[in-house]
Structures are given as structure tokens and as C-alpha cells.
């Protein structure tokens, strides 16, 4: 047997081991799965019973209501280089938090890459689609953990998939006055979120970036 | 500018309502109940760990969200450090004068953030009925730096044998805090019309909780199977909006997914319910005949004591182990209209008024005292 044949055999062996490893991971995931994991995998395979969604608007108008204005903080370069260690610390000495990777990748080793996905100025339907697309990508690659950042208050798309989400409220009116500082504060908020979760990169999936408003 | 001087400048005081992420909606519901009863000169902002964020907006309040420690693979110490930083930002941004917290344990990050400010108060709405077999020492110790504890009463408080019942120094009591007053519960016809239910049928609400820490699927299955034998019953499954699991295993049974469910109680002839704080005190307060199936998870409050109390007074049936053995018969007995009316009457005898208004007043008084000094 030549060195070349030996190398080829070794490469084949590695490919085989990788495939086996992947299969074992899937088996472990299934065996250790909670109801949520199974449900995530079985989603949409059953007929849905009727849902009585009534009374959604109860309470409105009983207190001074905040004025909402959706928008996006705009695209932004990451403040961290790609591939930073998850154990990074902020300059204040705080250790970044480790996000749960989502139901479908619960049994996967903690991915080294953490990506923040910005979902500003999107409709709930678009948010649902975006989160689902990220989930599909994650299930295929199994090499990253997402942290979502959104300005919609319905967190069901993230909860249903076991993802971490950070909420940045749209600019608001408190006590009858538009709080402009709040919008100016968006960049600070994003930096906070990046440091908190040790994000390696930010991906803006928002549709209509707006960095200013009148 | 301090929070107080800023507050005077804008002529309203701004309070931060902080809720932990419970299994259900209890912490958030109590805070909403108090916040919506504040005088107009007080403004409420929420910081919640509950994913029912949309409910806060539904009530017209501004909300911030912070993921709970359960959403991380990090330890509590690290999480608390980030909570502290988040709170520092929120307290500054909104110029908060006082924080009203509802949760089982006051997080160190919260205590540190508030206590580092000279003119910010920390009030803890601390529900009672802790299980006597729980180690609640950390919860009890977490009252450090808390300016006032408000304990919302419980219809079953006579059966409270938990650790908080023995440590009542510096605790102010109010009647059970309910989100809705009786006049906010829809009349039967209107509730049925909204939910598309037949007011002449026997409508049964199955509300066994969020299911996030207790498996009640078997009980729902048994209930639906038994009720299915009767042509006049119409079961509806309540699905918590914070539930991790969907209760869509019974394709022909409608699910009620809204908040607050108690708004529709009069559409239902009886309920099969868990005995969490809100559900229990609403069921008794609004006189809904019930079979109470306590959530027995050891991390929960003493739901068995609540169910036993109501059962003792004839206001509900406690679905304990023995009763579950004869569940079909118990459920059959609930079809009797007179029996249900008797239960309603008994509910009235043990019900207590809504303490939310009083709790709101206590919050205002506490802040006012600090303003004066």
C-alpha cells in the first residue's frame, strides 16, 4: 500500500466517522429531547384545531397609550471580530452570557459562533419567515447560535423555537412627549446586546432601514 | 437631575414594574392589576422576563424585556450582573422613582441596582401559599434592601403553612389581587357570542395551566373523552399565551388563546382548572363552579392547599388522587345544574374583594412618604 492509498483510506475513514458522529448527535438529540424539541420537529404535521383568539384589544385606552413608531437602527458593522471566544469579557469584567441554541439544536455542542439577527421594522409574518429561515440554516450547519433582536412585542416565533430574543422597543411617547433620546440610544442598546451575548457578528434582516425620523 | 426632581418637572411619577418569568402569567397579571389602578399622575413602565410582552402593550403600557436566566446556559451570578446593567440603563432612561417587583425571589441584580440609588424605592409583591416542603431560605433572605413587602391575600390563606406565613414582619396585606373587577367580566350572552359558543349548551373550560412544568395532557384527554359522551357539552381548552407547548392534540376541540381568560368566565358552566393564584382566586371570586387539579410540581406554590380549602367549603371539588380514580363520576356530577348553583353560592361565601386598588394606593403612599421626606 502506497502513502497515497493510505491517505485516501484515512480520509475515507474520517468522512465515515464524521457521518457517524452526525448520526449519533441526531440520535442523542432525539433521545434526550423534551416535548418542545419533538414538537418543533413535528410542527405542521397535524391538523390544527380551531383557535378562539378573542379580546386581543382589552385594556387599550384605559391608560395613556404609548405612541409607537417602528423603524430600524440601520445596518451596522460588528464591534467584535468574527470568531471571538465565547468566554470573552467586557472591559468591566463581565462574562458574556451563553444563549440557548434553540430546540432543534439543543443536543449539539455549544456552537462557537454567535450571530445576532436584527429584525426591525418587519411585520409579524416577515419575522416568522425570517426566524424560520435562520432555523433551517442552523439545523443544516449546526455551527452557530442565533440571538434575535426585534421591535415586535409578539415573541411567539422565538419562544416556539427556543431561541433567545432581545426586545428593543420602538421609539415611544412617554408623558405626552416623544422621547427622541430613545432612538438615539439604539446604537448603545445594540452594543450592550453584542457584549452581553458575546456576539461575533450582526446580520440585519430588517426590510426598511431608517436611522432618523422626524 | 435626580429622578425626583425630574419627576417634579414632568408632574408625574414614573414607576417600574418588574416581573420574573413564572410558569404562567401570575406575576405579570398582579402587576398589571396594580398598574392599571394607579392615579393618572403616576406612570407605569414594565420590565418583564415574561414572554407575554404583547399583553403589556395590550394594556397600553410601555415595556422593556429581559430574557430570564433559563434562556441562557450561564450561571445565575453572570446573569444577575447583566440584569444589574440592564436595570441601570432602564432606571436612568425612564427616570424611575420606584420599582415594584413581583416574583418569588428578589434578584441580587435588582436589589443592587435599586439600592445604589438614593431616591429609588423597591417594593415586593410577594404571593404567599409557599409549599411547606420547599427550601425558601434564599427567597426569604432576598428581602434585604426591599422597602416594603405587599402580600396579596388568598381566598385559601387560612391553609397557608409555607415559610412566608411565618415571616410577616414588615409585610402589608391586601385582599387577593385580581386583574378584573366583576363588572369587567362579560355577561354570558356577550361572552358566548364573542367566542362563538352556544349559550344554551353546557360549556366547559379546561384550563390546566401553561404546561411548562407539569404534564396534564392525560387529564385533558380523559376530560374530553368523558365529555364527548354527552351531546350537550362543549369543551374548550384554554391555552396560555406563554405556553411552551401547544394544546392542539385534539383537532375538534377549540382552543381559547387570549388574555385575560377570566373576561369570558360567564360563558362557561364550569371549569376544570389548575389552582394557581390567579385562576383560583378568579374562579372563586367570580363564582365559577370548578374541579381543581393542582399542579403538583415541587417548585410551585401550594395549589393542593387551595383546592382542599375550596373543597372543604363546598365551593369546588379537589381532584386529588382519590377523586381522579372516579373522575368519570365526578365529571358526571358536574352536569347537574343545581349542584353547580350550590357551588356558586358557596364561592360567594368565601370570596374576598379585589385588593388591587388597595395595593395601588399602598404603592402611591409609600412613594409619597419618600417624596415628603
Rounded to an integer, the average pLDDT of A41-63 is 53
In this predicted structure, what is the pLDDT of residue B213?
57
Q: Give the model confidence (pLDDT) of B307-362 as tens digits.
A: 999 999 999 999 998 888 898 899 999 999 999 999 999 999 999 999 999 999 99
Interchain contact, A48 vs B248, CB within 8 Å? yes
In this predicted structure, what is the pLDDT of residue B8?
46
* A91 CB within 8 Å of a chain B CB: no
Q: Which of residues 127-166 of A touch B (CB under 8 A)?
A: 153-156, 158-159, 164-166
Element (H, E) at A117: strand A113-119
pLDDT band at A52 (very low <50, low <70, confident <90, very high): low
pLDDT band at A206 (very low <50, low <70, confident <90, very high): confident
Q: List the single residue in B71, B246, B258 with the smallest CB-CB distance to A54.
A: B258
* B3 CB within 8 Å of a chain A CB: no
Q: How far apart are CA A156 and CA B221, in angstroms?
A: 25
Whether the Cβ atoms of residue B295 and residue B214 lie closer than 8 Å to each other? yes
First-residue to last-residue Cα distance in chain B:
18
Q: List the single residue in A99, A172, A181 with the smallest CB-CB distance to B62.
A: A172
Q: How far apart are CA B37 and CA B11, in angstroms?
A: 18
Q: List the single residue in A55, A62, A185 with the smallest CB-CB distance to B194.
A: A55
The parent domain of residue B34 ranges over 3-177+354-372
Rounded to an integer, the average pLDDT of A193-206 is 94
3-state helix, strand, coil in chain A (%, to 5): 35, 15, 45
Q: Give the model confidence (pLDDT) of B145-199 as tens digits.
A: 899 999 999 999 999 988 888 888 889 999 999 999 999 999 999 999 999 999 9
Rounded to an integer, the average pLDDT of B60-82 is 93
B173 and B192 co-located in one domain: no
B212 and B327 co-located in one domain: yes
B52: domain CATH number is 3.40.50.2000
Whether the Cβ atoms of residue B271 and residue B263 lie closer than 8 Å to each other? no
Q: Which of B3, B7, B92, B91 is nearest to B41 (CA)?
A: B7
Best of B7, B10, B82 to disrupt the A interface (most A CBs within 10 Å) is B82
Q: What three-state secondary structure class fits B230?
A: coil
Q: List the single residue in A62, A97, A175 with the smallest CB-CB distance to B59.
A: A62
Interchain contact, A54 vs B264, CB within 8 Å? yes
Rounded to an integer, the average pLDDT of B60-76 is 92
* A180 CB within 8 Å of a chain B CB: no
A154 to chain B: nearest residue by CA?
A: B54
B154 and B38 co-located in one domain: yes
Q: List the single residue in A39, A48, A62 with the smallest CB-CB distance to B245.
A: A39
Q: Which of A38, A46, A160 is nearest to B250 (CA)?
A: A46
In this predicted structure, what is the pLDDT of residue B116?
95
B144 and B277 co-located in one domain: no
Q: Which of B122, B70, B69 is nearest to B91 (CA)?
A: B122
Residue A145 with chain B: CB contacts under 8 Å: none
* A35 CB within 8 Å of a chain B CB: yes
Half-sphere exposure of A197 (CA within 13 A, CB side): 35
What percentage of chain A carries pLDDT values higher than 90?
A: 31
* B93 CB within 8 Å of a chain A CB: yes
Interchain contact, B58 vs A50, CB within 8 Å? no
B75 to chain A: nearest residue by CA?
A: A97
Q: What three-state secondary structure class fits B236?
A: strand
Q: List the single residue in A56, A94, A165 with the smallest CB-CB distance to B58.
A: A56
CA distance A89 to chain B (A): 11
Q: How many domains does chain B have?
A: 2
The pTM for the full model equals: 0.83
Interchain contact, A153 vs B56, CB within 8 Å? yes
Interchain contact, A59 vs B82, CB within 8 Å? no
Q: Give the model confidence (pLDDT) of B37-52 as tens digits.
A: 999 999 999 999 998 8
**Strand-pair partners of A88:** none
Residue A99 with chain B: CB contacts under 8 Å: 71-73
Q: List the single residue in A36, A98, A196 with the smallest CB-CB distance to B244.
A: A36
Which ranges in chain B belong to alpha helices (H)?
A: 3-10, 26-35, 53-58, 76-93, 108-115, 137-141, 188-195, 217-227, 277-285, 303-312, 321-325, 327-333, 337-350, 356-372
Q: Give the model confidence (pLDDT) of A111-126 as tens digits.
A: 679 999 999 989 999 9
Where exactly are the structural domains of chain A? 3-32, 66-214
In this predicted structure, what is the pLDDT of residue B282?
97
B143 and B192 co-located in one domain: no
Q: What is the ipTM of this complex?
A: 0.87
B62 and B193 co-located in one domain: no
Average pLDDT in chain B:
89
* B44 CB within 8 Å of a chain A CB: yes
More confident residue, A71 or B78: B78
Amino acid at each position: 500500500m502506497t502513502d497515497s492509498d493510505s491517505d485516501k483510506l484515512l480520509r475515507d475513514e474520517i468522512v465515515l466517522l464524521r457521518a457517524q458522529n452526525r448520526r449519533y448527535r441526531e440520535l442523542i438529540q432525539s433521545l434526550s429531547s423534551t416535548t418542545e424539541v419533538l414538537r418543533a420537529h413535528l410542527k405542521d404535521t397535524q391538523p390544527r384545531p380551531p383557535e378562539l383568539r378573542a379580546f386581543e384589544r382589552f385594556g387599550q385606552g384605559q391608560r395613556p397609550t404609548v405612541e409607537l413608531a417602528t423603524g430600524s437602527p440601520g445596518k451596522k458593522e460588528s464591534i467584535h471580530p468574527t470568531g471571538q471566544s465565547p468566554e470573552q469579557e467586557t472591559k468591566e469584567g463581565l462574562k458574556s452570557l451563553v444563549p440557548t441554541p434553540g430546540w432543534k439544536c439543543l443536543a449539539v455542542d455549544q456552537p462557537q459562533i454567535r450571530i445576532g439577527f436584527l429584525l426591525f421594522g418587519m411585520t409579524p409574518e416577515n419575522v416568522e419567515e425570517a426566524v424560520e429561515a435562520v432555523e433551517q440554516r442552523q439545523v443544516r450547519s449546526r455551527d452557530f447560535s442565533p440571538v434575535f433582536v426585534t421591535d415586535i412585542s409578539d415573541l411567539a416565533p422565538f419562544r416556539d423555537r427556543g431561541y433567545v430574543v432581545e426586545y428593543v422597543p420602538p421609539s415611544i411617547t412617554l408623558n405626552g412627549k416623544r422621547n427622541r433620546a430613545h432612538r438615539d440610544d439604539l446604537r448603545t442598546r445594540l452594543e450592550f446586546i453584542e457584549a452581553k451575548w458575546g456576539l461575533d457578528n450582526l446580520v440585519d434582516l430588517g426590510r426598511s432601514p431608517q436611522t432618523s425620523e422626524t | 437631575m435626580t429622578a425626583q426632581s425630574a419627576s417634579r418637572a414632568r408632574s408625574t411619577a414614573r414607576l417600574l414594574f418588574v416581573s420574573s418569568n413564572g410558569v404562567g402569567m401570575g406575576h405579570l397579571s398582579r402587576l398589571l392589576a396594580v398598574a392599571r389602578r394607579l392615579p393618572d399622575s403616576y406612570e407605569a413602565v414594565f420590565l418583564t422576563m415574561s414572554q407575554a410582552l404583547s399583553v403589556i402593550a395590550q394594556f397600553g403600557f410601555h415595556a422593556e424585556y429581559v430574557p430570564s436566566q433559563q434562556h441562557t446556559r450561564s450561571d445565575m451570578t453572570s446573569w444577575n450582573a447583566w440584569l444589574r446593567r440592564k436595570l441601570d440603563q432602564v432606571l436612568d432612561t425612564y427616570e424611575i422613582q420606584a420599582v415594584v417587583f413581583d416574583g418569588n425571589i428578589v434578584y441580587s441584580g435588582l436589589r443592587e441596582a435599586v439600592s445604589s440609588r438614593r431616591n429609588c424605592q423597591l417594593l415586593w409583591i410577594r404571593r404567599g401559599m409557599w409549599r411547606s416542603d420547599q427550601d425558601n431560605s434564599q427567597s426569604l433572605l432576598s428581602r434585604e434592601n426591599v422597602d416594603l413587602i405587599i402580600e396579596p391575600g388568598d381566598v385559601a390563606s387560612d391553609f397557608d403553612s409555607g415559610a412566608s406565613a411565618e415571616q410577616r414582619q414588615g409585610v402589608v396585606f391586601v385582599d387577593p389581587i385580581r386583574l378584573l373587577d366583576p363588572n369587567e367580566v362579560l355577561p354570558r350572552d356577550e361572552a358566548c357570542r364573542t367566542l362563538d359558543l352556544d349559550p344554551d349548551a353546557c360549556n366547559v373550560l379546561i384550563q390546566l395551566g401553561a404546561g411548562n412544568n407539569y404534564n396534564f395532557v392525560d387529564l385533558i384527554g380523559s376530560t374530553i373523552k368523558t365529555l364527548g359522551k354527552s351531546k350537550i357539552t362543549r369543551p374548550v381548552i384554554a391555552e396560555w399565551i406563554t405556553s411552551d407547548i401547544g394544546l392542539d392534540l385534539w383537532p375538534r376541540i377549540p382552543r381559547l388563546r387570549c388574555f385575560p381568560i377570566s373576561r369570558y368566565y360567564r360563558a362557561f358552566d364550569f371549569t376544570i382548572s389548575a389552582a394557581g393564584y390567579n385562576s383560583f382566586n378568579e374562579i372563586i371570586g367570580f363564582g365559577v363552579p370548578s374541579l381543581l387539579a393542582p399542579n403538583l410540581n415541587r417548585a410551585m406554590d401550594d395549589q393542593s392547599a387551595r383546592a382542599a380549602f375550596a373543597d372543604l367549603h363546598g365551593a369546588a371539588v379537589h381532584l386529588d388522587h382519590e377523586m381522579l380514580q372516579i373522575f368519570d363520576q365526578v365529571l358526571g356530577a358536574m352536569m347537574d345544574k343545581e349542584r353547580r348553583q350550590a357551588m356558586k353560592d358557596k364561592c360567594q361565601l368565601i370570596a374576598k374583594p379585589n385588593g388591587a386598588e388597595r395595593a395601588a394606593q399602598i404603592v402611591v403612599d409609600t412613594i409619597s412618604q419618600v417624596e415628603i421626606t
